[in-house]
Amino acid sequence: MSVALIGTLALFLSLLCFLKYQQNKQQTLSRLVLIGLGLGSGFGLLMQMSFGSNDPTMVNALQWINIVGGGYIALLKMIIMPLVLISMIAAVVKLDQGEALGRMSALTISVLLITTAISALVGIFITHWLGVSADGLTEGTRETARLIALEDRADVVSDLSIPTMLVSFIPTNPFLDLTGARSTSIIAIVIYGILTGLATRKVMSEQPELSAPIKQFVEAIQAIVMRLVKMIMALTPYGIAALMTKVVATSNASDMLNLIGFILASYLAIAVMFVIHAMLVSFFGVNPKSYFKHIWPVLTFAFTSRSSAATIPLNVEAQVNKLKVPPAIANLSASFGATIGQNGCAGIYPAMLAVMVAPSVGIDPMNINFILSLVAMIVVSSFGIAGVGGGATFAALIVLPAMGLPVAIAALLISIEPLIDMARTALNVSGAMTAGTITSRILKKPSAETTPKEA
């Protein structure tokens, strides 16, 4: 181990110790996350300026630092399936009316799909307004390799159909799905949890003497799982500091400059969608400032981790404890939002790519028929992301060929993909939490605790 490596790791350790000191001072999670974000960004920039992107010391240091960042993400992934399964069983068992579950699911999915359609329109008009096109994009070694891989995967995606994707949601082997082995495992576990909860309710009604012990058992298991989530959440500032260190240290300024137009257009479209989310929750009586203050730590983690699925535990916890959304709705919106109707990956991204590449094949991207067809295809394909896995790239692989457009543009953007994907993931999670909040308000089902003051 070189002196430079030891010194770098010692500095990072001192950064973590400072975070621990702040945590001992009973700072709020939001403030701790902000501190971690700032320290990680600054340390990552220092590493990049000191070593450069491909320096062996930089590479080795990031491997050690990733123990904190990657370990935190792994802990969150560890709790996803138990949380979804137990929470859905408990939610169904505690429902006052069996038919309420159908309304919750329908409303949640509807809000997710409607906001996805809106995000697609935002992507279309922002791209056209700024005049962003595929002209001038250069193709290098990485892009060529990516294109070959995408063309191979496009053949697999082209064989998918909506009935096939819907069938893939059925948990044929729930034990396998608990391992997250399939791209549709989360939805499958939601369905399995709901069915198990319904079966439990049947048993409770048929054998009343079992009702009390069953409820007590379910509540005890749920309390243990939620306590585990809180324990892991306490590590959030440390995980974000490590993740931001890696993000900033490995950023390539030249790649960003080459594709600055697309980056700016993407972030503007994403910012507009955040404003629309604020307007939507405001329409249903929630103060936007208070709303984003409550969900900011979750969005920060989504931004740094680039994983909607890994954010599910934080998403559910924030909705239940901060936004006072009932656990059943919170779990439905967080779970469905990680796989269906992603505003950033399934909405904005494929819409922008379609508008950029359409003129190259003689299509006017502002033709009303093209816009309506594109939005409809994006909404339908937002179910398909869960069926094939891979997020925004696979959304593009479904939408572009279906619209008669080439997929090569997705490969040309590989160099800046991580930078944009961070903001897209945060928007995905915001869309899921917006869906949960709106569904709760429409059904007039706040949790047992008092709804937070909207001020």
316 closest CA partner among 392, 237, 222? 222
Structure token digits, residue 230: 């809180």
**pLDDT score recorded for residue 448:** 41
Tens-place pLDDT, residues 7-41: 989 999 999 999 999 989 888 877 888 898 889 98
**Predicted local distance difference test score (pLDDT) of residue 299:** 93
Q: What is the pLDDT of residue 147?
A: 47
Average pLDDT, whole number, for the chain? Answer: 82
Q: Please tell me the total number of residues recorded for the chain in this structure.
A: 455
**pLDDT, position 413:** 67
Residue 141 pLDDT > 70, yes or no?
no
Tell me: pLDDT of 313 over 70. yes
Distance CA 227, CA 248 (A): 33
Distances (CA, A) of 430 to 35, 129, 334, 388, 389: 21, 25, 10, 23, 20
d(CA 77, CA 313): 9
Helix (H, G, I), strand (E, B) or coil at 28: coil
The predicted pLDDT at position 408 comes to 67
pLDDT at 292 over 90: yes
**368's tokens:** 């009303």
pLDDT classification of 131: cutoffs 50, 70, 90: confident
Higher pLDDT, 341 or 241: 241
CA dihedral 231, 232, 237, 240 (to 10 degrees): 180
3 state DSSP class of 367 = coil
- Cβ contact 353:381 at 8 Å: no
- pLDDT-derived band at 50 (thresholds 50, 70, 90) equals confident
What count of Cα atoms within 13 Å lies in the side-chain half-sphere of residue 325?
33
What is the pLDDT, as a whole number, of residue 283? Answer: 94
Exposed/middle/buried for residue 175 (C-beta within 10 Å: 0-12, 13-18, 19+): exposed
Assigned token pair, 82 = 């138990």
253-262's contacts with Cβ under 8 Å and 24+ in sequence apart are 255/415, 255/416, 256/416, 256/419, 258/138, 258/415, 259/137, 259/413, 259/415, 259/416, 261/130, 261/132, 262/132, 262/352, 262/356, 262/413, 262/416, 262/420
Please tell me the predicted confidence (pLDDT) of residue 248: 82
* pLDDT at 14 (0 to 100): 94
**Residue range 263-287, pLDDT digits in tens:** 889 999 999 999 999 999 999 999 9
Kindly report, residue by residue over 195-219, the tens digit of the pLDDT. Answer: 998 899 899 989 989 988 998 998 8
Residue bearing the bigger pLDDT, 184 or 88: 88
Distance CA(207)–CA(89), nearest Å, equals: 18
List of domains in the chain? 3-80+110-169+233-442 (1.10.3860.10)
pLDDT at 156: 47
pTM (predicted TM-score): 0.76
Task: Find which of 305-309, 316-320, 397-401, 434-438 is predicted with most confidence, using mean pLDDT.
Answer: 434-438
What mean pLDDT comes out for the span 356-380? 87
Question: Given this model, what pLDDT does residue 331 score?
Answer: 85
Max mean pLDDT among 51-55, 78-82, 122-126 falls in 122-126
